[in-house]
Structure 1
Amino acid sequence: MIKHQEFNRDGPATPVEKQEHQRIAANLTHRAENGADAEQIADAIVSIWQQIEAALRPILGQRGVDSLYRRSLHLAGLAHPWLAGIHEGRPDALDFEALKSALVQQSSAAAAAAGGALLQTFHDLLAGLLGPALTDRLLHSVWINSPSGASAEDTIR
């Protein structure tokens, strides 16, 4: 088996891991376990999605981001069926209010699990298209920044 080695500007990189978005998913779960309600979790998830859209729209275009988001909803909907139909019949795929509305109707644990799965699925799809190193570079600011200037991880704690 041939192993694929990632490189950065300084030479070979360590194996690219999905640490940041895994941390976000874990923090969503932790937040739910510590009493956050579904609306607070939904707000955090929507904030992250808005940052993802802003980071990727100039590179992939609106239709590219829309397509990946819809595909992510479909795939994450296999484990969380209520996610799959969120945008059916809607022309605007990135209707984050529809996502928020669906999330707040769930328990906080279910909202956290589905939100984490949706982010994981999106990351995996993007990494499959662009490669893990480029995906991590493109989304690095999302995992680090939030609208308030705190890290995305702090936003969801």
Structure 2
Amino acid sequence: MEAALTRQVAAGASAQTIAAIACAAWQRVDDALSPIVGRQGVAALFKRSLHLAQAKHPKLAAVATADTSPGDFSALHAVLASQSGADAAALNTAVLTAFRDLLYSLIGAALTEQLLTPVWAPSYTDAPAQDHPT
């Protein structure tokens, strides 16, 4: 996922595009983990990850304090879309890293990677614009 966002930034993607890709990835995370830990569980992990990431990225505070329901990433989308493309990618990467590290501490690296690698693998929406066939 991080590599896909980096490619998008290098291709000149707008923050709106970065926000859409990031939130689609978070929706896939929610869909994949909800059957295992429940929607409330995923929401709690996401909120904790935001709390951890905002220590170095205060712009995430608005997302961390937003009153959203589980699986609702609209507050993240709004914050990411209001940044530059590079800043949006950096903010999302900080949350992704905190989320992954939190799961590592709870269930171990191997299981975390087994659960998240398919979810964070680049999809067709993550491909840079110049990679589309003409």
What TM-score range do you get, normalising by the shorter chain? 0.7 to 0.9
How many correspondences in the alignment? 128
TM-score of the two chains, using structure 2 as the length reference: 0.86
More helix by share: 2
TM-score of the two chains, using structure 1 as the length reference: 0.74
Q: Which moved more, 1:93-102 or 1:31-40?
A: 93-102
Asked if the contact 1:142–1:152 (Cα under 8 Å) also holds between the matched residues in 2, the reply is no
In structure 1, distance between residues paired with 2:127 and 2:45: 23
Aligned to 1:116: 93
Asked if the contact 1:41–1:112 (Cα under 8 Å) also holds between the matched residues in 2, the reply is yes
In structure 2, distance between residues paired with 1:131 and 1:41: 29
Which consecutive unaligned segments of at least 5 residues does structure 1 have?
1-23, 145-150
Residue 48 (str. 1) matches residue 48 (str. 2):
no
In structure 2, distance between residues paired with 1:127 and 1:153: 27
Pair 1:127–1:142, CA change in 2 (3 A): same
SS of aligned partner of 2:63:
coil
In structure 2, distance between residues paired with 1:57 and 1:46: 16
Aligned to 1:152: 123
Quote the RMSD (CA, aligned, Å).
1.8
Which consecutive unaligned segments of at least 5 residues does structure 2 have?
129-134
Give the ranges of 4+ consecutive aligned residues of structure 1 lying more than 4 Å apart after TM superposition: none
* Bigger radius of gyration: 1
